[in-house]
Amino acid sequence: MRFPARPLAMSLGVFVLMMSPGRSGEVPAFARDVPAVRSGSPVLSFNGRDLSGFYTFTRYHHYQDPLRVFTVRDGIIRVSGQETGGFTTRESFSDYHLIVEWRWGNETWPPRRFRARNSGVLVHCVGPDGGGLASWMESIECQIIEGGTGDLIVVPGKGAPPSLSSEVRTGPDGQPYFQKGGELKTLRKFGFHWWGRDPGWKDVQWFRGPEDVERPVGEWNRMEVVCDGGTITYILNGVLVNAARDSSLTSGKILFQSEGAEIFFRKIEVRPLQK
C-alpha cells in the first residue's frame, strides 16, 4: 500500500559507516556515499512476543508448521531453516524504509548442511504463496548468504519473470557486480552481485571473502532496504552494498526466508518514506 505523508512523525535515518568491512578494509567511494533516508514511524514492526502482522508458509506443510520452523522467544524470531519457506507480512507495502537486524545460528539442514548459510529478505512479493520457486513468491530478493550478502536477485513466479536494472561492472567470472557509474544492465533472471563479492566464492559453510561487509557468524547485522518506486537500495552495516532501479515490481508483501540455515531476527521495522 502507498503511505500518506506523516510530517509530524518524521525521523531522519542515520547510517554509521563501517570503514573496515572485510580483511582488506577498502571501501569504494560510491559505497561510502550512503543516502540519508527520511522515514516516518513504523507502520509494521516485530513486537518481540509473536508473529502478529505476519504469517508463515513452507513448501511441504504450507500454512501449518509442525516442525516449528518459526518460533519467538525472548524477543527474537528463530527461523530454523529446516524446511524452505518463510514468514511474510500480511499487508503489502510500497515506498518504504525496511530495517532488519539479524544474525546466523549454528544449525544447518540437508541438502545445504555443509553449504554456505543461506537466507534472504524478499521485497515486492506478489502472486500466490509458493508461486516463486515452489517455496516463496514472485519478488526481488535482498540476498543473505555467507560471502554474498548484498546481492539482489530476481525471483520468478508463474508468468513472465520480473525485471531489474543496475549499474555494473563485469567481473573476472563474467558476472555483473554493482558499480555506481558502470554499465546499465537489465536482467530478468539471476541478479546483480554486490560490489565486493569474492569472484572466487564457493558454496561452502563458513565462506568469507576479503571485502565482506557481513559480520562473522553469531554477530548481529543491520540491514536496511529502501524501496522508492522502482528503485531498491540495499545498505548493510552502514555500507551501500547494492542498488537497482526500474524494477517491474514496485509494491507487495515482504518475506523473510527459511532456506537451510538457522537465522535469528530481533528487529523488523517498515517505515513509510517521507518525500
- CATH 2.60.120.560 for domain 44-269, yes or no, is yes
- Tens-digit pLDDT string for the chain (275 aa): 332 333 323 333 333 333 334 445 589 999 999 999 999 999 999 999 999 999 999 999 999 999 999 999 999 999 999 999 999 999 999 999 999 999 999 999 999 999 999 999 999 999 999 999 999 999 999 999 999 999 999 999 988 899 999 999 999 999 999 999 999 999 999 999 999 999 999 999 999 999 999 999 999 999 999 999 999 999 999 999 999 999 999 999 999 999 999 999 999 999 999 98
Residue 182 Cα distances to 70, 98, 261, angstroms = 40, 26, 34
Closest CA relative to residue 88, chosen from 136, 54, 114, 116: 54
Sign of CA dihedral 7, 249, 140, 245: negative
Q: Given the DSSP bridges, would you call strands 176-178 and 164-170 parallel, antiparallel or unpaired?
A: antiparallel
CB of 101 closer than 8 Å to CB of 267:
yes
pLDDT at 197: 97
In a 13 Å sphere around the CA of 264, the CA atoms on its Cβ side amount to 17
pLDDT given at position 13: 38
Could you state, in order of their start, the residue ranges of all structural domains in the chain?
44-269
Q: Please say whether the beta carbons of 194 and 148 come within 8 A.
A: yes
d(CA 250, CA 269): 18
